[in-house]
Amino acid sequence: MVILKGYRLINWPAIIKHAGDDELIYIADQGQWDAETELHGFEYIVTDCLIDSSGHVFDLTNKENGFVKPQANEDVLELKLVLGLVKAHAAQSGSCCVAKLYAPTIRDAYRIVESLC
């Protein structure tokens, strides 16, 4: 894969993580991102991010023509850290037995988030 500076293809599904909030926003694919104005038209802060299903982190403060264009940064999250975010989201959503949640891949962890929506 060729990666231009700050550019990387997003591996869908992905989540948006707002700073200081355990709630995660699940995004199934590029079509959902494009169709839902509240996703790409929102004013994100520097510490908000999109995390794709391979663990790559994207900043959400870059805008083109008034729309957010996720920009890859150097961070890549491991499954263990993503599971921690998913568990915090599940607990905030009122799920029980959160400590027992497990997924073998980040993509599978995002399916848990999707099921809680």
The string of pLDDT tens digits covering residues 33-92 is 999 999 988 899 999 999 999 999 999 999 988 899 999 999 999 999 999 999 999 988
Distance, in Å, from the CA atom of 61 to the CA atom of 25, rounded to the nearest integer, reads 17
SS3 letters across 14-76: EEEECCCCCCEEEECCHHHHHHCHHHHCCCCCCCCEEEECCCEEEECCCEECCEECCEEEEEE
**pLDDT given for residue 19 in this prediction:** 93
**Could you list the residue range(s) of the whole structural domain that residue 31 is in?**
14-116
Confidence (pTM): 0.90
Structural domains of the chain, count: 1
Instruction: Look at residues 19, 74, 73 and name the one whose alpha carbon lies nearest to residue 45.
Output: 19
Q: Is residue 4 part of a domain?
A: no
Asked whether residue 6 is domain-assigned, the answer is no
